[in-house]
Amino acid sequence: MPGKPHTAGPGCRADHLPLLRYLWSIAHIANDDIDRLCALPLRVRDFGINRDVLREGDRSTEICFVIDGLLSRYKLIAGGRRQNVALHFAGEILDLQSLYLDDPLDDAFGTLTPCRVAFVSHDVVRALIGAAPTIAALFMRRVFVEAAINREWIATVGRRTGYERIAHLLCEALVRMRAVGLVNSDVFELPLTQSELGESTGLSTVHVNRTYQQLRRAGLINTRGKVHSVSDWEGLKRAADFNPAYFHLREAGPFEASSEPGFQA
Amino acid sequence: MPGKPHTAGPGCRADHLPLLRYLWSIAHIANDDIDRLCALPLRVRDFGINRDVLREGDRSTEICFVIDGLLSRYKLIAGGRRQNVALHFAGEILDLQSLYLDDPLDDAFGTLTPCRVAFVSHDVVRALIGAAPTIAALFMRRVFVEAAINREWIATVGRRTGYERIAHLLCEALVRMRAVGLVNSDVFELPLTQSELGESTGLSTVHVNRTYQQLRRAGLINTRGKVHSVSDWEGLKRAADFNPAYFHLREAGPFEASSEPGFQA
DNA sequence: CGCAGATTTGAATGCAATCAACACTGGTGG
DNA sequence: CCACCAGTGTTGATTGCATTCAAATCTGCG
């Protein structure tokens, strides 16, 4: 992926960093736990764009997290229709469920960009959370935050208009990316095509396109390719009926300095 | 609630039964754990119809499960629109997240019928899962099954037609109710109004009504009031594009005998 | 009986999907 | 360097599913 060369051995800290950053965005982490997480042995694998990291029906013996890139969790239903049920940015753990559910996966994880993914064996993770209850709690928090996001998505696709849905997705992407240091100002790159945006919001590609035009005309956003800039954050939030409480971020609020000495690149 | 008088003291086992039944539907439970669960001290409370058991913004010091009745977890969004994000049948634990997320709840739980709900203090639950890791694992399984259902709902409201959505909800209700002994044959009472059905599927009341008529005309279901009977289960499943795998039931399959000596009423 | 809630029906509207082109973009290979 | 190509973005026209508004039954219940 861009920039970071993968170096095994002691220099592997760069691969752990996104995970730390993500967990840090939802909770405080004690120094001991940071060390423990950094000591986690990783199997690292790169994926091209539009590849499945985990397939429906898979049974994992490892859990994994995103080192770099953007993934979607998705379901395919009759007629070739596809619905993304979650987006996963750098640092997010993908399938904690496999630790507790022996069953085959009922959905799939696919890359939306080229991705680097870290794998950690179940045994190692079990040992870790056995030894460090605070890390177990951290993971649990991750699980419930993810569930909260799922529920917000149900409300979005169930009850919001197309205009609101797109606005809401943009708000969500900005806040989540910002929380892990992927955004510095109100400009960010969202590497989703309009088609993928549709698959995430339950809209057709054409309608996504027209909705984008509306949002631009309303003076809420500007786009140049995949680069988005929010020209009216308050307006966008209002249009989306957006309230970031459901992210359960440690420090709430979208535009705060998330500067934490420990995890700067 | 119908029938069961509430008797404190040793006779309280009737209140624990639904929880056992539910957990049993998703996993085997060792005898020791059954004893431990039965020993759980419950605070029992009855709620009328259309009451909130937990409100948005609440911070619990207890977790709770449904003894009897039907609840929905729901979100209110701008303009008074409502979306149910989950249905909770007897035995289901409602807010395990409160054990791990100190934050205020970002959605609410409301009764769809009169309900009896059991409350157990966090401390007691923490002690329980600390002492019995198998019960902790059981609860974790519950958490991930719930998340899987959430994701299926996203796909349903995002990509399925109205006809498919209603059919899917009926399939889901039947399988879930059957798993906890609420259905014996293919006849079951689903105490949702058409309006509530709409709030659960992202459709308007009127369209729910018309869709029901279609399903009846197609010979898939019959209804008399709230009582539903499935006249063509295979057809209904096909219409819904339904695959029960996402429930991760211990014994898969919708129409199997779930007879388990331990938990008969 | 009378009332409130729920279901059903009708008519009109509208949001979003679909179908079909066309334009733009970046990357590839000749 | 340019032609080509696939993927993406954009536009137009049409269709249709679902909403909305309104009113008429139907149902259970005090």
DSSP class per residue in A236-256? HHHHHT--GGGG--SS--TTS
Q: Does B131 touch chain A (CB under 8 A)?
A: no
Judge if the beta carbon of A114 is closer than 7 A to nucleic acid strand C: no
Q: Protein footprint on strand C: which nucleotides are under 7 Å from a CB?
A: 5-11, 15-20, 25-26
What average pLDDT does the structure give for chain A?
Answer: 91
Q: How far apart are CA B157 and CA B141, in angstroms?
A: 25
Which amino acid, residue B252?
A: A
Check CB contact under 8 Å for A107 and B201.
no
CA geometry: angle B235, B238, B242, nearest 5 deg: 125
Determine contact, residues A34/A20, Cβ cutoff 8 Å.
yes
- Residue A127 has a pLDDT of 97
From B147, B155, B246, residue closest to A83, measured CB to CB: B155
DSSP three-state, residue A218: coil
Closest partner residue to B141 (CB to CB) among A77, A101, A144 is A101
B77, B159, B245 member nearest A159 (Cβ): B77
Does the beta carbon of B251 lie under 8 angstroms from any beta carbon of chain A? no
Amino acid at B236: L
| Stated pTM of the model | 0.93
Q: Which of A106, A141, A153 sits opposite B245 (nearest CB)?
A: A106
Does any strand C atom come closer than 7 Å to the Cβ of B126? Answer: no
The reply to whether B206 Cβ lies less than 7 angstroms from strand D is yes
Question: B-chain residues within 8 Å CB-CB of A140?
Answer: 99-100
When scoring B54, B98, B100 by the number of chain A Cβ atoms within 10 A, the one with the most, hence best to mutate, is: B100
pLDDT, mean of residues B94-117: 96
| A/B interface, count of CB pairs below 8 Å | 121
pLDDT of residue A4: 40
For chain B, how many residues are written? Answer: 265
Q: In chain A, which among 39-78 make CB contacts under 8 A with chain B?
A: 73, 75, 77-78
Cβ atoms of A91 and A18 within 8 Å: the answer is yes
Question: Which pLDDT band holds residue B8 (cuts at 50, 70, 90)?
Answer: very low
Question: Which residue would you say has higher pLDDT here, A56 or A264?
Answer: A56
Closest approach of chain A CAs to the CA of B7, in angstroms? 35
- Strand intervals (E) in chain A: 43-47, 52-54, 62-68, 71-77, 81-88, 108-111, 115-121, 187-189, 221-224, 227-230
* Under 8 Å between Cβ of A57 and A169: no
Model pLDDT for residues A144-202, shown as the tens digit of each residue: 999 999 999 999 999 999 999 999 999 999 999 999 999 988 899 999 999 999 999 99
Tens digit of pLDDT for each residue in B186-216?
A: 899 999 999 999 999 999 999 999 999 999 9
Mean pLDDT of chain B: 91
